[in-house]
Chain A
Amino acid sequence: MALRELSSLEKYLGLKKPNKYSTQGDKKIPVLQNNNGPPLVGMVTIACHLVKEAKRPNLLGDCAESRAVVQQWLEYRVSKLDGCTKEDIKTILKDLNLYLQDKVYMAGNQFTLADTFMYYGIHPLIVDLAIQDKEQYVNVTRWFDHIQHYPGIRHHLPPVVVPRNRLYTSKHH
């Protein structure tokens, strides 16, 4: 999974030759061999490395604050979203829905790596949502739909249909 995301990211970044990755441990943590030193381990670490290599530093945020926010969501993705239990899903979606209420992207008004990886990570959750739930997490689905149509992002994942008109009018929570 992580490897496919990294290769999708490479394509998005327009890196010429694809990197070769290996994995380590039960959790299949990606490893990138590095010519200038010891190998890089971990999805977030490697992704940030690729962004720098592609000379697109703005994808990591354009000021200290947004860089911190981007890193925070990247960490959230690998430590909270990955491996979350069924019980956690509701809370995660609820929180994100509230967070995204006044934002276009994860880090505010600018598309960043946080959008890419939160999108990849949340995709399986959104696929499982009933239409009714999608409407309940309307900000999440709006953001999700936006990112999945962002040029060059979706690659390895199937599109998810997000209806634009509301089918269920009653409130559930």
Chain B
Amino acid sequence: KHSADHFSKLQSLSISSINGQMKLFVSEGNPHCLKVLAALEVTGVQCDVQYVNHEERVVPFLSRPALPALLLPSGLHLFSSNAICRYLFEIVGQDSSERCNQWLEWEATDLQPALLQALHMAVLHGKGSEVSKVLQGPLNYLEQSLSKGNTPYLTGEAVSVADVVLWAALYPVLSDSSLACERTSVKAWFDRGAVLHSCESAAQKVLQGKGLQGMKSYMQRQPAPQSSQSRDTQPCNSNPAEVSRAVSEEEMEAAALTWSKGLNSCPLAADRQHPILPHEGKRNLLVTSALPYVNNVPHLGNIIGCVLSADVFSRYGRLRGWNLLFVCGTDEYGTATENKAREEGLTPQQICDKYHAIHSSIYKWFQIDFDFFGRTTTEKQTEIAQDIFWRIHKHGFLIEDTVEQLRCEKCQRFLADRFVEGICPHCSYPEARGDQCDKCGRLINAVELREPQCKVCRQTPVVRSSKHLFLDLPKLEPQLEQWLEKSTSTGDWTANAKQITRSWLRDGLKPRCITRDLRWGTPVPHPDFKEKVFYVWFDAPIGYLSITANYTDKWEKWWKNPHQVELYNFMAKDNVPFHSVVFPCSLLGAQDNYTLVSHLIATEYLNYEDTKFSKSRGVGVFGDMAKDTGIPSDVWRFYLLYVRPEGQDSAFSWADMALKNNSELLNNLGNFINRAGMFVTKFFEGCVPAMELQQEDKKLLALVGWELQQYIQLMDKVKIRDALRHILNISRHGNQYIQVNEPWKKIKGGDTERQRAGTVTGVSVNIACLLSVMLLPYMPTVSQTIRDQLNAPQSCVNTMLQGTGTFVCSLSAGHRIGTVSPLFQKLEVDQIEALKKRFGGQQTTAQRASSTQPAAVPAAAAEVATSNGVDPEKAKQLTQAVTEQGEKVRALKAQKAEKAVITAEVAKLLDLKKQLALAEGKSSEPAPQKGKRK
């Protein structure tokens, strides 16, 4: 039926175009539609106008909806509102003049970006006051032009398309505020009758008399505009050489001075000594990652959202010399665990033990460097949770009430929210869970679900009432708001964290139930509520405290010390309300001087290829599969951090991962570091040559120093993904520097040229050393490998990231480096395709077969891995053989041996590599070789 509709629609479109008719598609609340409707009124062109939904994709070749759109008689589509207006004017005989062109171009490139930002602020953030600031530049320009031109309209005495376009563009803000008042010429132009009436009638159609608010639903669907301040990231399609920053003499001299300081003045940081406790006079950071729920294997989205992001920041913080404690652990209580235990025929505790170990090993493989990785099912948890409970109780923040709850008579138990499924009462999504709807994101009370079903046995549960305790959030709200005001303004809260928190407060807080009729949980100590346990949302965040208490008896020095300690919480955005509203309320209500969150770092979602990761549906790559791919942990970390959903959703894609590995790691970063090291080895017998800096070298030092500064500024603000770009920029600068200076040619020249080759090599290898330090938080193993290869002094690690960044010469002339070898391996297309199929494809079928058992999938994947002829022991031997053979070939080439001899040895090498690939479980098909770089 669907396709038939589609067909008849297509047919009607083509008929209308055969008849030479046009059709204009517009949507309500879309400011761009104002322009075309006004132009239609002004020109009097007859045209069929159809109102469609914002999301309607009218223009067949555009993947994002673009409205307004004009279907031309020829069947072509115009999707630019200015082009449509211009066309409407042209067909009534008013060609656009050069002046007109200029205004239209200005409107599209200068006015629109500012206008979008202004509307975004005013409509979505309620910051109407920002509008005048954002629009100041364009409006002043318009004012100047109008007063200079001294004509009633933009291009002369008569109305032109430029007037209509600008009028309609500015109508929403000018009619809604006093912006025009201060600018007399703009005001006179805007109030001039001719166009104003057409605009008003168009505005009535588009905004429905609701003013700026009429655009709300449209604006919500638009990507947030980049503010002018955040535009410091380079547009990617500009040639890096062309936009390279102009470097001043002073910057160059300053960079050269820093460079010359060397390492000696820097104290060696002591190794970490446990237990780490806050120190007076130091920056004391307590870093937590959202506690992963124990009964599932975490997927890549969980890993990047919480533990990996927190790990990168913690590693960075330690390099910065901050006194930092990073804790995490598994969240183990709740019905889900009880159920899993029933399924697997184990006790809940046994299930927790089993999965806690799985989590631990996954994080170990991903090199997550926790100071302590604990769990919530401990004595300390009971002790602390009950203490907090009694304090809240004592201060009168608990209310008693009777609750209607769903009970499955067949399963003989009350159903936890996520064990009920039904139709969402808000959006009618058929698979809404009892706690939250995956589609519209609203929180749901399980009894509100339409047609509820027990997720285990699919029976319809019955409603039973039971007495429960509620945390009185409305009573705590004033305290909460006071604290939030301070924390969000002084701390680094991500934009989504602030926004989600605000929307919670705006909707008003309601009392929240903290008790449950379950067994597997922290017992409620109150005698009237025996046989009940704490609700996980109340209990789980207390895990941060109890895990710290299991790490050190002096845990209160971290958790009851808000003046000395800054608390960083890392999580995905779905967890924000519990960390910004609910848990702080528990702690505020307990009134025991608790340390509350100072910096709330929330990621958006990471999607898997083109779909969603889903714990409950088992879609996506899981943590324990990553190591079965044969791709090193560091490369996984790099790619996940490269696509970290920072500020917007992003997606994991196998093809993209291969591309980034090959283009960024292999061709850019690895290539640079390897070349720098190889030059030292080949041309200077492994000793760093003497360096005599010239202007060009100083310029490079300044450029690198600037990237380092950016990196530090971003990392300090936990912009982990953005900071990574600056590491890659440095190696790009480095590659370019080597390419321009050609040390491999100069080394064969006279003394001056040889000296030049020495300087370029020396500077490059020092940049490689700096890169190893900057990479440490992201790729710890590669970072260490680089320093091992360069034989770099350990003190360089503590030196370079101090203050605003100090790029010093840490490998001085005469320093002997170690053995240099390639850092990264190419990911071949067929290898990646095989992985995509092996994990992605099978995943979907496995998931359909057993939707409640995502854990079964990794096991299946592991079986495939072993049955494929994979043999780690053999792989190890072969790796050694490949290395030796490779060296032999290189030696022969260096000796300029006979071609036939070399060819024979190369053939042997290729054969060995093939065998190795088989043993490692990779596909052995050779892929087309790319041109080799010098």
Contact = CB atoms under 8 A, between A and B. Distances in A.
Same complex:
yes
Interface of A: 1, 29, 40-45, 48-49, 64-65, 67-69, 71-72, 75-76, 78-79, 81-87, 89, 91, 94-95, 98-99, 101, 108, 121-122, 124-125, 130, 132-133, 167-168, 170, 172
Given A44-B101, A94-B63, A95-B63, A67 B90 contact: yes
A85 B63 contact: no
A71 B76 CA distance: 14
B61 A83 contact: no
Secondary structure dominating the interface of A: helix
- Closest 9 CB pairs between A and B? A72-B83, A68-B87, A98-B61, A42-B105, A83-B235, A99-B61, A45-B102, A124-B237, A79-B108
8 contacts: A40-B102, A42-B106, A48-B101, A65-B73, A71-B80, A86-B236, A101-B61, A132-B659
A172 to B, nearest CB: 5
A41 B98 CA distance: 10
A72 B108 CA distance: 11
Interface string B222-245: 000000000001011111001000
Interface in B45-70: 60-64
Contacts of B233: 85
Most B C-beta atoms less than 10 A away, residue of A82, A91, A124: A124
Nearest to B650: A87
Contacts of B470: none
Contacts, number: 108
B78 A68 contact: yes
Interface residues on B, range: 35 or more
Contacts of B648: 87
Contacts of B62: 95
B490 interface: no
Given A98-B60, A172-B655, A78 B109 contact: yes
Contacts of A42: 101-102, 105-106, 109
Interface in B97-119: 98, 101-102, 104-106, 108-109, 112
B63 A124 contact: no
B82 A69 contact: no
Contacts of A124: 237-239
A15 B400 CA distance: 86
B531 interface: no
B803 interface: no
B802 to A, nearest CB: 31
Contact of B76 (A29, A44, A69, A121): A69
B105 A75 contact: yes
Given A68-B84, A68-B87, 9 more contacts: A44-B101, A44-B105, A68-B86, A69-B78, A85-B235, A89-B237, A95-B61, A101-B61, A132-B659
Contacts of A65: 72-74, 76, 87
Q: Which of A68, A89, A124 is most buried by chain B, counting CB atoms within 10 A of its CB?
A: A68
A65 B90 CA distance: 9
B87 A64 contact: yes
Contacts of B238: 1, 124
Contacts of A71: 80, 82-83, 86
A108 to B, nearest CB: 8
Contacts of B390: none
B108 A75 contact: yes
A130 B456 CA distance: 49
Contacts of B105: 42-45, 75, 78
Contacts of A85: 233, 235-236
